[in-house]
Structure 1
């Protein structure tokens, strides 16, 4: 049994995680601990506070005591708003506290893009323009070309959590770019786990979503590889050998 630990901010789309655990169909245990988010706002100052050490510390301790073999901060915006260096410092602090390998959803996207061999990506963000642009900057710092960013201007994770299939597909289609090798949907408040194969079929290319890549990242940290077609091409491809 491999135990994966996730720090999830508040309550929006956390039900993606037990769904993903079921779809993995293996000896994988997914444990989600909710963190205190403070103010629910896709605003840089609020997001920095959301991912601060004092907000994450109680959850890290709970996951440590629960035997998690890897810990991932399941929040994209609460990591990339710190910038490339700041996000590295954030996960290093998590690793020290947890006593395990650690990462965040922002780095999960960078690693997942590399895994599928995508050079250029399009972004469909629920965030306001300024926050969405920071995610694009983070991807570029990680060596990925961003062909375009579509932002939806949603202020709260609570509102994103109410989105259904129609809103999800509309965002993905609006974000898609013929020059992009993949489409990225970066909000962990967005329900996507039930729709990954349909999204990829609809767009005709890989689609990486926040909760999907977060779980994949935890598996990567524990050196586990699980074939799970219902979780999209990220979970079915052989690893790309970088040259």
Structure 2
């Protein structure tokens, strides 16, 4: 049994995690612990508060006691708004507090894009333009070229109510002919049931927040699970980098 800990801000699409656990079809257990949010808003100041150390600390002890082998901060906006260096410091502090390997959804996107060989990506974000631009900048800082950004401002509660057509509309609006993959960064979107349909409709890999969060947690525990229902990220072999000496 591999036990993974998910720190999830507030309540929106957390029911995607039991669905993902079921779709993995293996001995993986996902424990979701909620952190507090003062406001359901995608403003920079609100996202900085969501990812602040005191708010993250509230759930760490519960995850540690659950037997988790790795901890994921399941918020893209609550990490990338700090910039690449700040997000790294956030994850390092989380790892120290938990005494476990740790990462965040933002870094999960960067690592997942590399995993599937997506050097150029398009972003479909349910954020205001300025926040979506910060995610694009984060990806650039971590080595992924962004060829298009589409933003549609919405609250987490609004996004959580979108059906497949709403998620597909966001992905289609974001897609670009030069993009190797489309990224949907908000963990408030329900996407676990839609991944194969999204990839079929767009004819390319689609990376979504809940999906990459769980994949990253598995990566931290050196687990690879073949789960076709979770999209190309869970079926492809890792891309072998041309320069084996380059840092991960």
Partner of 2:165: 166
Partner of 1:103: 103
Separation of aligned partners in 2, 1:81 and 1:196: 26
Alpha-carbon shift at residue 227 of structure 1 (Å): 0.1
Partner of 1:9: 9
Alpha-carbon shift at residue 57 of structure 1 (Å): 0.6
Separation of aligned partners in 2, 1:160 and 1:128: 13
5+ residue gaps, structure 2: 243-248
Separation of aligned partners in 1, 2:42 and 2:114: 27
Separation of aligned partners in 1, 2:167 and 2:17: 18
Please say if 1:139 is aligned against 2:139: yes
- SS of 2:84's equivalent in the other structure is helix
Alpha-carbon shift at residue 160 of structure 1 (Å): 1.1
Displacement over 4 Å in runs of 4+: none
TM-score after normalising by structure 1: 0.99
Alignment of 1:69-108 (within 5 A): 69-108=69-108
Alpha-carbon shift at residue 153 of structure 1 (Å): 1.5
Separation of aligned partners in 2, 1:75 and 1:125: 13
Alpha-carbon shift at residue 136 of structure 1 (Å): 0.2
Alpha-carbon shift at residue 73 of structure 1 (Å): 0.2
Separation of aligned partners in 1, 2:58 and 2:84: 24
Q: Considering only aligned residues, what root-mean-square deviation do their CA atoms show, in Å? A: 0.5
> Deviation digits for residues 131-165 of structure 1, max 9, x if unmatched?
000000000001111001000011x2111111111
Separation of aligned partners in 2, 1:28 and 1:15: 16
Separation of aligned partners in 2, 1:241 and 1:4: 26
Please say if 1:113 is aligned against 2:113: yes
- SS of 1:7's equivalent in the other structure is strand
Separation of aligned partners in 2, 1:38 and 1:54: 12
Partner of 1:126: 126
- SS of 2:229's equivalent in the other structure is helix
> Deviation digits for residues 70-103 of structure 1, max 9, x if unmatched?
0000000000000000000000000001111000
- SS of 2:33's equivalent in the other structure is strand
Q: How many residues align?
A: 242
- SS of 2:198's equivalent in the other structure is helix
Alpha-carbon shift at residue 65 of structure 1 (Å): 1.0
Separation of aligned partners in 2, 1:11 and 1:204: 31
Separation of aligned partners in 1, 2:194 and 2:153: 22
Alpha-carbon shift at residue 166 of structure 1 (Å): 1.1
5+ residue gaps, structure 1: none
Partner of 1:193: 192
Please say if 1:53 is aligned against 2:53: yes
Separation of aligned partners in 1, 2:65 and 2:58: 11
Separation of aligned partners in 2, 1:153 and 1:32: 26
Partner of 2:21: 21
